Amino acid sequence: MGEEGKLADLRAELRAWLSTNLPGDWRERQRGDDIEGFLASQRDWLARLVKGGYATPHWSGAWHGGGRSLAEQVAIFEELARADAPRLTLFFVSLYHAAMTLQEFGTKAQQERHLPAILAGETWCQGFSEPGAGSDLAALRTRAERKGDRYVISGQKIWSTLGQFADHCLLLVRTDTSGPKQAGITFLLMDMKSKGVDVRPIKQITGDEEFAEIFLDEVEIPVENLVGKENEGWAVAQYTLSSERGLALVELTERLALGFDRLVAEATRGGTEADRVDAETRRRIVDISARLTGLRAMIATLMANRIAGNEAVGDASIIKLAYSRLSRDFTALGLRLRAGLAMRETAYVLGAGYETGNWMFDFLNSYQYNIAGGTNEIQRNIISERVLMMPRQKLA
């Protein structure tokens, strides 16, 4: 059987599994301010995916469901999105950033301690960005001093997704200031229950608290929690940040497409499109449809090139920039079509995108993609310098 036949079988297998395992009440369990409902729903869905073998297609073949090709991983992400399955927001850092970093750079003891625990529901967050060191991550200042068999850390981290619920943290610290700023950075694993760790959720404009800031006051971390070598954490961090290999955008774009189909169906319900919407709204619908088709084509090309091992420099930046702009314009269209209804809807679903039924929430939330995954300004710099080969201008 050829590769296409295998992928078709995998899709059929997953669709059959979803027909009996997808929880139909997941939105209700995650809706509104019921944090406990959100946590319970996420843990339940992780357990189902782990048992079914669909939670870890990107892990090594030593794990149940692991060892999948990139093409198979794309197929799984697409099918989960198209089935309207809940996103594993709570466990994304755990399953991708933490797990893949540990498999590539972790010691055997670290792997044995954390990988099975992740599958059992252990949660992780990232302690990378800092005030003044977001886009320029290498400018981080959180200081770690080695004292015997421990590092003592003081500093601050910010924009840590769901850090208030995390058991452990992937932490970047500065252990040397004598060389270039990319040097002297060390990668550590931190227990979030350690003395001196203070986590404060950040309330966003949506009313949600998806992010948190972490304050570290002489926190002690055992040297055995060092990942890689001291002062060589920059290379580890780059691997961590690339570990989901663009699959997140595959899923997010498919969910956006699903939301767009629903929105148009809702706008035209009870009559023809011309009866329901004005000319400007029709123009916007056509614009979003064309851009969505283009984005899906770009992502398909990107993943095909990655599978073939010949991805072009800047492709991921172009797609990320296109997605962030499209998500904002799409949710603005949702607001236009729903008009006053969007202003009255207050319930939202943590960890869902374009399925919440609250267009105001989704519109406000879409602005995070200007920053997430690398700011749009940084993406434009990459495109101009590495794709268009434009010279870097020096400010006077």
**Check whether domain 247-387 has CATH 3.30.390.50, yes or no:** no
Domain ranges of the chain: 3-87, 124-233, 247-387
pLDDT tens per residue across span 229-276: 999 999 999 999 887 767 888 888 998 898 888 888 777 665 554 455
pTM above 0.95, yes or no: no
Torsion sign across C-alpha atoms 356, 360, 362, 364: negative
Per-residue burial over 181-197, b if 16 or more Cβ lie within 10 Å, else e, is bebbbbbbbbbbeeeeb
Element (H, E) at 344: helix 340-344
Side chain identity at 178, as an amino acid letter? S
pLDDT at 395 exceeding the cut of 70: no
Q: What angle do CA 357, 347, 275 make, to 5 degrees?
A: 30
Indicate the average pLDDT of the chain.
88
Question: How high is the pLDDT of residue 232?
Answer: 96
What's the confidence (pLDDT) of residue 187?
Answer: 98
Catalytic residue IDs:
244
**Rounded to whole angstroms, how far apart are CA atoms 28 and 49?**
20
Condensed to tens digits (0 to 9), the pLDDT of residues 124-171 reads: 999 999 998 877 788 999 999 999 999 999 999 999 999 999 999 999
Nearest 5°: the CA angle 323, 328, 331 is 120
Q: Residue 359 pLDDT more than 60?
A: yes
CATH code assigned to 124-233: 2.40.110.10
Query: Which sign does the torsion angle of CA 331, 21, 23, 62 carry?
Result: negative
Question: What's the start-to-end Cα distance of the chain, in Å?
Answer: 63
